[in-house]
């Protein structure tokens, strides 16, 4: 069964059609890459899936139910987590607190619980902390130890990216949306992250939808690849198929001059 179905989704901003009838599906347990030139509508489709934008047309179906019209926090609660193209952390909160916010949708403590220190609140707080620490622990020593109590703004760029992913993992998702996870990383960090993405599927059992420009990463992680241009799907299949598809080559490089 498909975990996520994007069915004929259109979204326009004024006269600009960012998405026009985009169709694709994500199967449970796979890593699906979305590629396409700048402005192809890749990030827009993420924003539609996570509820930041409402689609003008079409439907997004998660686990057999439409999620169009739900607020982003409800969608996160259903099990779809995401990272952003440019890093968006809570810069003045500590690394651990950033991850703990991820656990927000899996916990229930209210004002009364917090004020009156009920036993269930203490228990839940401990569990939030443990889950957050284990999410940070996914990246090994990178986000461990003293770093957890440092404010997020003090992290290096690569660690900020990792923290954003850890925060997404802390929401205990079944589908993870990564928007250009390796942007701005050096080759070594990129390789490391490629392994992390694969491990998220193998070890954590996540289904992953990733937008990526670095073709080595796309090649390394993808079970399937969807190529988009002008808000439409132009090719779909294994990496090799898509990479050699003439529409895709045309979209990236343009058509040969006549003659």
Name the token pair of 192.
Answer: 């490391």
- Nearest approach, Cβ of residue 98 and other proteins (Å): 8
Q: Residue 60 or residue 217: which is nearer to other proteins going by CB? A: 60
Q: Residue 109 or residue 232: which is nearer to other proteins going by CB? A: 109
- Nearest approach, Cβ of residue 133 and other proteins (Å): 15
- Nearest approach, Cβ of residue 72 and other proteins (Å): 5
Q: Residue 74 or residue 186: which is nearer to other proteins going by CB? A: 74
Rounded Cα distance, 58 and 78, in Å: 20
Rounded Cα distance, 178 and 32, in Å: 10
Q: Residue 127 or residue 186: which is nearer to other proteins going by CB? A: 127
Q: Residue 37 or residue 151: which is nearer to other proteins going by CB? A: 151
Q: Residue 25 or residue 52: which is nearer to other proteins going by CB? A: 52
Q: Binding residues for other proteins, per CB under 8 A?
A: 50, 52, 71-74, 76-77, 81-82, 84, 88-94, 97, 100-102, 104-105, 107, 109-111, 113-115, 117, 121, 124-125, 128, 151, 153-154, 167-168, 171
- Nearest approach, Cβ of residue 120 and other proteins (Å): 12
- Nearest approach, Cβ of residue 176 and other proteins (Å): 13
* CB 59, CB 14: distance < 8 Å: no
């Amino acid at each position: 069964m498909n975990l996520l179905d994007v069915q004929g989704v259109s979204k326009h901003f004024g006269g600009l059609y960012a998405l026009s009838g985009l169709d694709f599906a994500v199967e449970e347990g796979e890593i699906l890459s979305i590629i396409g030139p700048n402005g192809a509508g890749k990030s827009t489709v993420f924003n539609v899936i996570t509820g930041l934008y409402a689609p003008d047309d079409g439907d997004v179906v998660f686990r057999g139910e439409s999620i169009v019209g739900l607020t982003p926090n409800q969608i996160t609660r259903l099990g779809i987590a995401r990272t952003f193209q440019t890093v968006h952390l809570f810069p003045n909160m500590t690394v651990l607190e950033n991850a703990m916010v991820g656990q927000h949708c899996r916990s229930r403590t209210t004002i009364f619980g917090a004020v009156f220190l009920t036993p269930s609140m203490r228990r839940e707080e401990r569990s939030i902390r443990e889950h957050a620490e284990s999410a940070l622990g996914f990246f090994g020593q990178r986000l461990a130890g003293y770093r957890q109590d440092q404010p997020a703004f003090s992290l290096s760029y690569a660690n900020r990216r990792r923290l954003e992913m850890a925060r997404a993992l802390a929401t205990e998702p079944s589908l993870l949306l990564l928007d250009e996870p390796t942007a701005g990383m050096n080759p070594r960090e990129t390789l490391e992250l490629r392994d992390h993405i694969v491990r998220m599927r193998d070890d954590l059992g996540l289904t992953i939808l990733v937008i990526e420009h670095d073709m080595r990463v796309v090649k390394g992680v993808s079970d399937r690849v969807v190529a988009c241009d002008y808000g439409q799907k132009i090719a779909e299949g294994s990496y090799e198929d898509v990479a050699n598809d003439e529409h895709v080559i045309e979209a990236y490089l343009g058509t040969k001059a006549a003659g």
